[in-house]
Structure 1
Amino acid sequence: MTMLLDSNFLVAVSFFIFVGILLWMKVPAKIAGGLDNRASHIRKEIEEARQLREEAQTLLASYERKQKEVERLAADIVTSAREEARAAAAAGREELERSVARRLRAAEDQIANAEAAALRQVRNQAISVAVAAAAEVMKSNMPADQASALIDASIAETGRKLH
């Protein structure tokens, strides 16, 4: 009986009874099943995470390609805009040169017209003076009826030469 009163013995017997009850109720199998379920669930989550990672990498690669495309497109647009600006500047320079040339020709034409008008005016004045001088000379040296006939003939001839 001393053995039954010994606390170490009672603890050992209680422990073996407890382990026996656990084995009889199949607790280790339930624990193993729960752990297997948990491991299976973790494997599924890992597989889903792997698939999500692959999809994310695919999306990332797609976005990187699109970004490179957009960068190339932007570079093309900038290049095109520069070329158009150069062409517009060249066209503007050409138009300015044409405009200056037109204005220069117009000024030269105006100068030529002014010179021609001045020349006509001087010529007309010289003719008027010559006619008047001839009329005076003829008046003083000729009889009136002959001078009058000569003046009329001279005026008619001058009119024909001017027109």
Structure 2
Amino acid sequence: MDKPAEATTVAHTEAAGGHEAEPNAFGLTPPWFIAAAMIVVIAILVWKKVPSAIGKALDKKIAAIRDQLDEAAALRKEAEALKREYEAKAASADAEAAAMVERAKSEAKAIVAKAEHDAKALVERRKAMAESKIAAEERAAIDELRATAAKAATAAAAKLIAERNDAKTDQALVDQAIGQLTR
């Protein structure tokens, strides 16, 4: 009698290549759990509207800086108009009288030089003021961010200390502190 060929199934504990099989739970491997955790963290950040809050804060800072830059540009235009006005006065002084040409030229040159100097000084002062305001805003934003980070770190540290200390550990710390005080 011929025996039918039986298919035999053999379970292997090793994966191809001679390595042990990667551990899994419910058929899911560790990389899947890491990906799921990242998705949960991102979902919580989006749910708490963290990106929009950061965006709004940055938009406010950008708007303030733009306003300051617009103000500086307006002041520069004003200074240029003042310069043109003084140059126009100098040009009209030339045409007043032939007898006063030399005197008018020297006065016009002095007025133009003063106007240019004043305009440059005004623009530089306004530019310096705008830059210092921008720098102050940046410092304030950084200080605010640092304070927020410090508060979060303090809260996390307090939570960790509360979770890791029990009554026995607290009693040992109190006894040790009392011992150091009595020395």
- TM bucket (normalised to shorter chain) is 0.3 to 0.5
Query: Could you say which structure has the higher helix fraction?
Result: 1
TM-score of the pair, normalised by structure 2: 0.37
Larger Rg: 1
Higher relative contact order (CA 8 A, sep 6+): 2
TM-score of the pair, normalised by structure 1: 0.41
